[in-house]
Amino acid sequence: EAQVTQNPRYLITVTGKKLTVTCSQNMNHEYMSWYRQDPGLGLRQIYYSMNVEVTDKGDVPEGYKVSRKEKRNFPLILESPSPNQTSLYFCASSSFRNTEAFFGQGTRLTVV
Amino acid sequence: AQTVTQSQPEMSVQEAETVTLSCTYDTSESDYYLFWYKQPPSRQMILVIRQEAYKQQNATENRFSVNFQKAAKSFSLKISDSQLGDAAMYFCAYRSPQGGSEKLVFGKGTKLTVNP
């Protein structure tokens, strides 16, 4: 089954404790992105990748890091999380042949 | 930069009735893609319908159809014969042509309630 898998689905952490949210897709897609969703703001892009070892900032990259060492994986790293990073996070992937983006199930992150 | 505006934070409809959700966007590009995504309480983002700007014909998917007005930069979603399962947040999204930005630009969403 074609899918984008994020883990964990829920995470509560403390300020400053490094964390990683994993994202994996099994569709051999070139493009992958991370978005955060906040009430009243919709979804905003954090980082994106157009292929292995090619990443770039989106609209709200501050406080986040990403890497794309393999085509299927695109982890999101918060090296020193802060409460303003409490949000719902989505990973998405798409192919340059098709405009449709496939989304993961979302990760609800709470930083206390 | 492109922007997407959904002017209706909340809408409600009676079951079996028709409802239209509004979306306008701003862009200087002539070729692009527009989408409507549905987000039920499960949080999953589900593609409802897609429109290519170069196509004049409005896209339809079963009970879902769009009214795409390129000159007016308007992209509304019509849901016919509304069902309880249509209750969700609906997001309008814009994407530049392939080879350009990978970014989807989202509106702030419209919460749709379906009353039995």
Q: What percent of chain B has pLDDT over 90?
A: 82
Check CB contact under 8 Å for A48 and B103: yes
Between β-strands A19-25 and A31-38, what pairing exists: parallel, antiparallel or unpaired?
A: unpaired
Q: Please give the mean pLDDT across all residues of chain A.
A: 94
Whether A20 has a pLDDT exceeding 70, the answer reads yes
pLDDT at B97 (0 to 100): 72
In sign, the C-alpha dihedral spanning A48, A68, A63, A105 is positive
- If you ran DSSP here, which 8-state letter would residue A84 be given? G
Check CB contact under 8 Å for A58 and B95: no
Q: For residues B64 and B66, what is the distance between their CA atoms, to the nearest angstrom?
A: 7
What's the average model confidence in pLDDT over B5-30? Answer: 96
Whether B116 has a pLDDT exceeding 90, the answer reads yes
Q: Please give the mean pLDDT across all residues of chain B.
A: 93
| Confidence class for position B29, pLDDT limits 50, 70, 90 | confident
pLDDT at B49 (0 to 100): 95
Check CB contact under 8 Å for A99 and B50: yes
pLDDT per residue as tens digits for the range A36-72: 999 989 999 999 998 899 999 999 999 999 999 999 9
Residues 37-56 (B) with a CB less than 8 A from some CB of A: 43-45, 47, 50, 52
Whether B40 has a pLDDT exceeding 80, the answer reads yes
A-chain CB neighbours of B35 within 8 Å are: 100
H/E element, B79? strand B74-79
Preferred mutation among B101, B104, B108 to probe A, highest tally of A CBs within 10 A: B104
Whether A102 has a pLDDT exceeding 60, the answer reads yes
The identity of residue B110, as a single letter, is T
Take residue B25 and report the two structure tokens written for it. Answer: 């966007």
| Confidence class for position A2, pLDDT limits 50, 70, 90 | confident
Residues 20-59 (A) with a CB less than 8 A from some CB of B: 31, 33, 35, 40-45, 48-50, 58-59
Residue A5 contacts B where some CB pair is shorter than 8 Å: no
Check CB contact under 8 Å for B47 and A100: yes
Check CB contact under 8 Å for A103 and B107: no
| Confidence class for position A95, pLDDT limits 50, 70, 90 | confident
| Confidence class for position A74, pLDDT limits 50, 70, 90 | very high
Check CB contact under 8 Å for B45 and A45: no
pLDDT at B101 (0 to 100): 55
Whether B93 has a pLDDT exceeding 70, the answer reads yes
pLDDT at A90 (0 to 100): 97
Preferred mutation among A37, A46, A49, A108 to probe B, highest tally of B CBs within 10 A: A37
Whether B100 has a pLDDT exceeding 60, the answer reads no
* Residue whose structure tokens are 């934070």: B9
Whether B98 has a pLDDT exceeding 70, the answer reads no
Indicate the SS3 state at residue B101.
coil
What's the average model confidence in pLDDT over A86-112? Answer: 91
Q: What percent of chain A has pLDDT over 90?
A: 85
Q: Which of A33, A41, A58 sits opposite B108 (nearest CB)?
A: A41
Whether B99 has a pLDDT exceeding 60, the answer reads no
